[in-house]
Amino acid sequence: MNITDQIALVTGANRGIGRQFVLELLDRGARRVYATARRPETLDFDDTRVVPLRLDLLDHDSVVAAASAAPDVTLLVNNAGIATGAALVTGDLTEVRREMDTHFWGTLDMVRAFSPVLAANGGGAIVNVLSALSWFSTPGSGSYSAAKAAEWNLTNGVRLELAGQGTFVQGVLLGAADTDISVGYDGPKIDPREVPRRSFDGLADGAIEVIVDDWTAMVKASLAGDPAAFYARLAGLLGTD
């Protein structure tokens, strides 16, 4: 896919990686960008091609309304997410469920609502913004990691199911980006602008999975080995061994 003249919808577009997706779409010549947020009044893009929409992934009616308001979409970017920090065993189950409701059920709701739209417009593409934490967990990331793991395999599943209608599905995986969601993280962070750049370059090349940074590449490579060795190395890096 070439971004020029595409009509895109980006979830969680008011800040962080979502905002960078909108800006990169505009830079690459998108014809229209539906920028969504739970509070669309927080969107501040100075470009007439940007159409603000209210969208809450936990509100099915707002998902349906967004699909109705944006019937011309050819590219869906599922970026919106949360990080509650809830522990799986001792954490608040409401927060654990909110992680899964956002990353898995919310993303699936978007895919189900927009797949007929994409089909009607020639197939198009879906980009799901995932995480290196789809493949491992750390202290404090249990519920987030579990939800992102579910979203990663959701991405693989819908890719197969939507291939027949010509919809291309891409997963984008990264470690920490310098955004509000990682404000308490002291490790290295990438520039969030790199995420849409790598994603769209990957769309142009037909890449179904895009690895944004070296950390994520290392994590993926470790999956073929003994997980005990990876977690021992991780403990050393985190200072928890």
Q: For residue range 51-79, what is the model confidence (pLDDT) as tens digits?
A: 999 999 999 999 999 999 999 999 999 99
Does 227 fall in a domain? yes
Euclidean distance between CA atoms 86 and 179, whole angstroms: 20
CATH number for the domain including 126?
3.40.50.720
In the chain, the percentage of residues whose pLDDT exceeds 70 is: 95
Predicted confidence band of residue 176 (pLDDT cuts 50, 70, 90): confident
Number of domains making up the chain: 1
Which contiguous run of DSSP H or E holds residue 209?
A: strand 209-211
Predicted confidence band of residue 180 (pLDDT cuts 50, 70, 90): low
Write the pLDDT tens digit of every residue in 85-129: 999 999 999 999 999 999 999 999 999 999 999 999 999 999 999
Does 123 fall in a domain? yes
In this prediction, residue 185 carries a pLDDT of 59
Average pLDDT of the chain, as a whole number: 94
Backbone Cα Rg of the chain:
17
- Lowest-confidence pick of 44-53, 60-69, 186-195, 220-229: 186-195
- For residue 19, give the nearest of 172, 204, 195, 189 by alpha carbon: 195
Does 224 fall in a domain? yes
Does 30 fall in a domain? yes
In this prediction, residue 189 carries a pLDDT of 78
- More confident of the two residues 183 and 103: 103
Does 2 fall in a domain? no
Domain that holds residue 26: 7-238
- For residue 9, give the nearest of 93, 89, 66, 92 by alpha carbon: 66
Average pLDDT over residues 131-159: 96
Does 1 fall in a domain? no
- For residue 81, give the nearest of 63, 67, 65, 99 by alpha carbon: 99
- For residue 126, give the nearest of 87, 163, 81 by alpha carbon: 163
Residue 79 CB coordination number (10 Å):
25
- More confident of the two residues 240 and 230: 230
